[in-house]
Structure 1
């Protein structure tokens, strides 16, 4: 491959945007969903003061979504440099 062939291409662009990182994230997401939907029994969960009964998959899904949102927020802000 000559430098002319790769000039102007971004990382992952040659494979249609499929990168090893995206494949790994997709595999983890599928495994997470399988784990969540295999756990469907009702459980008692204590939320600070009230105790609620709900399907375990809803609690796992809510936790995964909150964790994902927190991770996205932290990654988006990134490290701040002092001047």
Structure 2
């Protein structure tokens, strides 16, 4: 196979075929956003010491972003350990 042969998608291609994993993540993201924006009332949240009043959707969105960041970090650490 020559380097000029470009049939098929490359393994690292980000915009290649739509995969079941990508569809699943899109569905989860949409459901997460619907859940977050359906919960808009004000709630009291204790952040270690101070207690703040904020919309519930901000607390949920912040928690989701922190969870995604932790998952991304853990996945990256796991990939580096296998090389």
SS in 2 for 1:53: strand
1:68 aligns with 2:68: yes
Q: Number of aligned pairs? A: 73
Q: Distance in 1 between matches of 2:22 and 2:69?
A: 18
1:57 aligns with 2:53: no
Unpaired stretches in structure 2, ≥5 consecutive residues: 1-6
Unpaired stretches in structure 1, ≥5 consecutive residues: 1-6
1:43 aligns with 2:43: yes
CA RMSD of aligned residues (A): 2.2
Structure 1 residue 33, shift from structure 2 partner: 0.3
Q: Distance in 1 between matches of 2:60 and 2:9?
A: 40
TM-score (norm 2): 0.77
SS in 1 for 2:52: strand
Moved over 4 A (4+): 7-11
